[in-house]
Structure 1
């Protein structure tokens, strides 16, 4: 009996040690996860602009969208550094609600198209880091509220502003911009897309949403990418449409959505921008919900896309799911 007791006692000691070691391992994992969460970049409606060997990341600052736009930089897309505010309230149009920035270069300067006070404005700078300012603090003229600008430069020299107008839903419009980037040409304004497909309004909302436009051109065909559903809806997802003209008519891809929680495993996937990396690969930067339980603060992620030929010149865009990752800040 004594021998059996000793053997049982020794067995339980072994079990206890396994439990203790497992607990320590779990605590370390939780601690590391907490550290990683602390380093997470929380930008909604993000965009990445690449200049030379540097990537510049901008977006809506979750929890502090009344201050302006922050910028993060990286040379390898893995290590990101917080460089502070590229546009500050008081130096360009807007009292609050600084959303959805897009940065581009034009005539040896850098510009940021953005939303403030539910209007679209464009500011300029000598550097992608900013400061982006306006000599005259003003928004583009509009008879309605408008958000989510995307400035597209076509091969013929014309400049187009794809954007959202708030009228019986969030609807996508396009208009030609003047060369000074100060206003659209009103006679060119035309509606592009509204949320009419089942996947675009899974909540059957009275105010359907199509927003976050991005445009690219391939083999003479225009591709208009957009996000549908309210941003708080877990079914917030990305689709696209094609046209032979920058004005449309637009034919929605029958395989939409191309990016959603169904293929990424995260809620609220969308409202981003495409960019090419130094290797020429096509990437999409976007946001997701914070978790399955809550929306904010939304997390910034990147995924690569590849293109497959569908019919003739038309391409099918598909995400490479194993490339999905969240962006995090490294120690300066």
Structure 2
């Protein structure tokens, strides 16, 4: 069975990373292809020929005609729906929804009826059900084998407090910088660390670098605009092994992949109680949205209280099980059995 996943951005992180994590196990059962509108370094992470770019409507139509997929999976990228129709609507159509932002508006204006809706959490199932969409299945995000490989974390000489995300309003990087500032001011010797922003507009980068340069408490901060995905498991392990943690300031999360990644690698997380995060984090790890003083207090406690750190990690095994690739594959296989029109599912 040929399954073609379509997504806007080939950028490390988020949906593209999910497609990469799925690939090894999914490709053992299905002929997997990935089609992007634009690439920012992700295509090369797949084996040659698996992922490609179709930058225009005509190119997207031609690519779908060429593949003739048995199942087309469109992820938060409505331009592919038009291309699929123009290509003759081959196979079954599955809409996969990860976004929680205003990008959801396209779902209320669909010109085609999908055979199935896929999303990544019970939170999102409820959100989409409220829009009148059905049938809906949950295929949780997954982590591939590299997340379970043993590493020997280096001794860093300080405890990093890290924030990982895009430099945008959804992830609230400005609130994150202020939160790291507050933590570093209260606990000299920690290393504030921001990871992400490789594709951010110049204005956002300028605002971040100005913040880092003008805040005395952030004098020891490090900003890594881009970390190769293969290095991320070791980064989380190093943060956790050196007594550090990650903090989140997100406005909403359909799943919370960076949170899951941290827990799987033994790194505690402090995050707002939004979206699907309460599904994967213990109560001790959560703070009310916008309550950054409470978030700072929790982070400072995690830097010094071993019992509290253990409580923050209490859902780690659950997350390991839920994000195992075999679990996601079984859920996806069930979706295909319910929706595939033109091919037999193993």
Higher RCO (Cα < 8 Å, 6 or more apart): 2
Normalising by structure 1, what TM-score?
A: 0.27
Structure with higher helix content? 2
Larger Rg: 1
